[in-house]
Every structure is written in structure tokens, then in C-alpha cells.
Amino acid sequence: MSFMGRGEFQLEFPWTEELDAVTGIPPRKALDSSLPLLLRIMGEEDLPLSVIMIDIDHFKKFNDRWGHDTGDRVLRHVSRIIREAVRYRGEAYRYGGEEITLLLPNTSSDEASLTAERIRRSIYDSPLERQSGEDDESLPIPLSVTISLGVSTFPSVAGSELLVAADQALYDAKKGGRNRIAVYNSRKKDESLPVVLDVRFPAASSISEGSYIILTRWFRHRGELTEIEAREISDPGRGVREFAEGPVPPGGPVTAEIRGRVMAVERRGDSTFFSFEVEAEVLDLMFHHLKDRDS
């Protein structure tokens, strides 16, 4: 993979041959491998690294009204436009569901914002056309598709917080009406009070205090918001993902993401217990995600 940026800077690093089957772009695990490498290189070269988180607006309606084949076509359509827009400048990854993440090395916040706006406009101006031989008259063709985008940039945002910050900006864009971009506002973060969750991971873990990690599969204990059990932990800063097996209690697991900082790690027997500090707005974002998914 080759990234070109301002001046004579050029970056090459190993490419994964594995691509997401639906979108044709690299999957989430390729992002987990690429981000720590890019952060290290950009830090050593004193260069910026921007992240753009992208969400297809009202994606659930495509699947619910016209079937998953149409939803997959929308994903492929959007992914193709996005990847063409950043060719030789960065890479697009399928983050999960209808979310796509861009990594843009040697790209400032202003440059990333301009790129995000070009992508937003390209998709807005490129409705999905009918396929040859398609005769489903219930499907409105051309089918209008829009996206929302959130931008964050290293080093103004710490590398361990880049994804969280871009996700928060994406939430702001969606909250602002969708079909728009938002740039992460660090001053807004300073005004947000943290929430501390008590987490049990039913396996040995290599996490340590101060790490910024992601809980992906988890469920709440006894309906309490602040006490949960996690079955999957990712540490993007180290490119590490850990899993725990075992029976799942009634009501779980929930497949969503909570991101934050590890505090007060304690290992007892085969389990790891820790406090998990998240921004209240990040937790709010997660609940909005679940509400949108279930509505």
C-alpha cells in the first residue's frame, strides 16, 4: 500500500489480501493492524494522521423495505465511491455494519474536512441506479443515498483516542440532521463528565491501567448500567484483540462498542476485573446506536 501526501512524503507498508466480502475493502482487523503502525510512523516523522468515520444514513430502511440484497448494493456503491476518493492518499476499512473508517496519513484536520465534504457530495450526487434486468417496481430508482461523517486528527487528538473522537464527531453530525460532516471538538470533551463502569472479563487479559480499549461483545449484569461483563476486548494502540468463551446469561450478549480508559485492574482466578472510564457522551452514543438498530 502506498500513501502520498504533501511534499515528497511517501509511505509504504504491507498490504492485506483479505477484503470484506460485501464491500470489497479491507475489514476491521486490517484497520486494527494499520492504525498503530501509522501512528508510530506519523509520530516519528512529526506528521498528522486523520481519521474519518462514515455512517450510511438510515441504512436500516434499505434492508427492511427492499431486502438485504439492496442493503448490500448500497454498501458496495458507497464503498466504491469512498475508496476512489482517497486512492493513493489513504485507505478505507469496513468498520462494522454500515460504518466505514478512513485513515489519511500526512493529512491535516482542514484537509481531512475538505476530503470528507467531497466524499459526502459525491455520494449525494450519485444515486444508486437500477441494475440491468432488474424488474422490482417497488424499489425507487434512482435510490437516494446520503452519509454522515466525523473527523479527528492526530496529534491534536491523542492516538489512543482517535477512533473515539471521530465516532463522537460522527454522532454530532447525525444529531445535527445527517448528510453532513462534523469535526471533533476537544473543548466539548473537556466539558463532558466521565462515567465509570465496573467490568468483568471472564478470561486472563493483558490489559493494563491507562490503556484505551474497546469492549465489543458485552451484557449488563442484573440490569445495572454500571456493571457489565465483556466477552471481547480490543486495544487499538497495540493491535491486540482478546476473547472470552463461556455460557451467556439471559439477556445477552449485546453487540455494540464502548470505548474508554482502563482503571484499577485486578486479576482473580481466570477472570480480569477492572474499572472502565468512558465519556458520558460516548455512552450516550452507544445507547443511541442500540435504539436506532432496534427501531
Looking at 8, 12, 98, 111, which residue is catalytic? 98
* Amino acid in position 89: R
CA distance 213 to 234: 6
C-beta neighbour count of 244 within 10 angstroms: 19
**Counts for the chain of helices (H) and strands (E), in that order:** 7, 14
What is the spatial distance between Cα 279 and Cα 169, in angstroms, rounded to a whole number? 13
Q: 98 catalytic, yes or no? A: yes
End-to-end CA distance of the chain, in Å?
40
Angle at 163 between CA 189 and CA 71, to 5 degrees: 120
| Cα-based angle 98, 28, 76 (whole degrees, multiple of 5) | 40
Which amino acid, 238?
R
DSSP state of 178: S
Catalytic center residues:
98
